[in-house]
Structure 1
Amino acid sequence: MKFVVLMTEDDHYAKWDAADDELKQRVVADFHAFDAAVAARGEVLGGEALAAPDQARTVQPAPEGERAVTDGPFAETVEQLGGFYLVELPDLETAVEVARLLPREYTIEVRPVVGIDV
């Protein structure tokens, strides 16, 4: 099964910029532990760190006509999406198990990917 693993944290970018070398090294070590655990049970299909929310643009829904584009992310929140993984693992329980290895500062959402034929 495929899963997306979303990583969020309150004020993520400001906290990362203020982090000392020791914290940054531990966070990177956590990512390596996650990668190794996924590789032992399945496969990392992709993943990226994301740019800060002020670089995002949101295309708003519109019932008809031109869709409005706004600066920044859609959600008005201090919690910021910092990155994601796309992984293939046997089941949701395994995906949650390995997600626990990601940095403890992050809120992690693990969600199955729905295969849709287009």
Structure 2
Amino acid sequence: MRFVLFFGEASTGADWSELPQAQKDEWFETYQRWVAAVRERGTIIAHEGLAPTTEAFTVRDETVTEGPYAESVEQISGLVLVDLPDLETALELAKAAPTDMVEVRATVDG
């Protein structure tokens, strides 16, 4: 089954580029261990980090506004498309993800 895992982070206003290199390195090491765990259980089809919400745009009808879709204390920071045996596996891996929040959604066939 395919799932999209949306990674979320607290909206602290901190920009990734402003973080100390040691903190970035630590996160990447943790993320690589998580990626290895996912690959042991299934397949990663794609994974991408997203630009900060300061670079987001929302389109409603024909109106374009700057900023994310909704005001929130959390923001989507990346996504991972995976092929895993079942929802239980997806949830188990989401719990171990190196992020503040993970939204798990199955893809729709067709």
CA RMSD, aligned part only?
1.8
Partner of 1:114: 108
**What is the number of residues matched between the two proteins?**
110
* TM-score, normalised via structure 2 length: 0.87
Tell me how far 1:16 sits from its aligned partner.
Answer: 3.9
Q: Which deviations, in whole Å up to 9, do the C-alpha atoms of 1:19-74 show, x marking residues without a partner?
A: 4444323321221122111111110000111001121111103xxxxx11111111
Residue in 1 that maps onto 2:65? 70
Q: Which amino acid in the other structure matches residue 70 of structure 2?
A: A
Amino acid paired to 1:3: F
Unaligned runs of 5+ in 2: none
Structure 2 vs 1, CA of residues 13 and 31 (structure 1 numbering), >3 Å: closer, same or farther?
farther
Unpaired stretches in structure 1, ≥5 consecutive residues? 62-66
Is the Cα contact below 8 Å between 1:13 and 1:52 reproduced in 2? no
Aligned to 2:27: 27
1:1-118 equivalences under 5 Å are 1-11=1-11, 14=14, 16-17=16-17, 19-61=19-61, 67-103=62-98, 105-116=99-110
Q: Which has the larger radius of gyration?
A: 1
Following superposition, which runs of at least 4 residues in structure 1 exceed 6 angstroms of deviation?
Answer: none
More strand by share: 2
Q: TM-score when scaled to structure 1?
A: 0.81
Where 1:14 maps in the other structure, the secondary structure is: coil
Is the CA contact 2:5–2:79 (under 8 Å) kept in the aligned structure 1? yes
